Amino acid sequence: GAGVSQSPRYKVAKRGQDVALRCDPISGHVSLFWYQQALGQGPEFLTYFQNEAQLDKSGLPSDRFFAERPEGSVSTLKIQRTQQEDSAVYLCASSLGLSYYGYTFGSGTRLTVV
Amino acid sequence: DAKTTQPNSMESNEEEPVHLPCNHSTISGTDYIHWYRQLPSQGPEYVIHGLTSNVNNRMASLAIAEDRKSSTLILHRATLRDAAVYYCILSMYSGGGADGLTFGKGTHLIIQP
């Protein structure tokens, strides 16, 4: 596709439920990032993939958060046993590589935990 | 990553130029200056980036101070569609870096018709 696609666009989860958020990056983009954006704040880095390798997961807030990109294209961010503080917009971004300027972001998935 | 300082909000009139300032007094010699903007209900969008020289593209211009401790994003003729949060970000990589981009709170730009 022409851009980064994220699904679902909105997700409401009951506290304790597991959720999976999907990101379809631009075809051929090597680098993929996940960000979390709380209301009124800037996006915060969660994790980074280069192809299928997860090279940095230092931003994941707890071991309930898990991300994968098994074939180096589509990525899934999974949150287990969701808590209210997990409510946020989750953004995915991709780029050709570290030396290529300009990340392309998706529109995000708004997760609300009730 | 070195820190940037931006005003929380700015207001401008439609069809007038807008100058969005950013201070980065602790910038290192290898840090690139990136600008992204985020329209309501969308992900951030790349605007422009530079290292030392002023840069122009179809969206905006980036003016970088000679000592590189500050920069200004210039929208030459603002439209209502330019209303967004503008983020000034430093990274040692031209592409943004393996640890992603470190966003602050940015400047909320309001455009009055």
Q: How confident is the model at residue B1 (pLDDT cuts 50, 70, 90)?
A: low
> From the CA atom positions of chain B, what is the Rg in Å?
13
Sheet of B18-23: strand order equals: B18-23, B70-75, B61-64, B55-56
For A98, the closest of B44, B98, B105 (CB atoms) is: B98
CB atoms within 10 A of CB A38: 12
- What pLDDT score was predicted for residue B5? 96
The model's pLDDT over B57-67, given as tens digits with 9 standing for 90+, comes to 999 999 999 99
Please list, residue by residue across B35-57, b when 16 or more beta carbons sit within 10 angstroms of its beta carbon and e when fewer do: bbbbeeeebbbbbbbbeeeebee
**Percent of chain B clearing pLDDT 90 (strictly above):** 79
Mean of per-residue pLDDT scores for chain A: 94
Mean pLDDT of B41-58: 93
- What pLDDT score was predicted for residue B96? 54
- What pLDDT score was predicted for residue A80? 98
CA distance B51 to B58: 18
Q: How confident is the model at residue A1 (pLDDT cuts 50, 70, 90)?
A: low
CB atoms within 10 A of CB A53: 9
Residue A103 in this model has a pLDDT that exceeds 90: no
B66 Cα to chain A: minimum distance (Å): 23
Burial class of residue A96, CB neighbours in 10 A (0-12, 13-18, 19+):
middle
Residue A47 in this model has a pLDDT that exceeds 90: yes
Residues of A with CB under 8 A from a CB of B: 4, 31, 33, 35, 40-45, 48, 50, 55-56, 58-59, 91, 93, 95-108
Q: How confident is the model at residue A98 (pLDDT cuts 50, 70, 90)?
A: low
Residue to substitute from A41, A75, A105, A109, interface B, most B β-carbons within 10 A: A105
**Tokens representing A47?**
């994790």
CB–CB contacts below 8 A, A to B: 78
For A99, the closest of B34, B87, B95 (CB atoms) is: B95
CB atoms within 10 A of CB A21: 21
Q: Does B94 touch chain A (CB under 8 A)?
A: yes
Q: How confident is the model at residue A100 (pLDDT cuts 50, 70, 90)?
A: low
- What pLDDT score was predicted for residue B83? 97
**Tokens representing A61?**
């807030």
Mean of per-residue pLDDT scores for chain B: 91
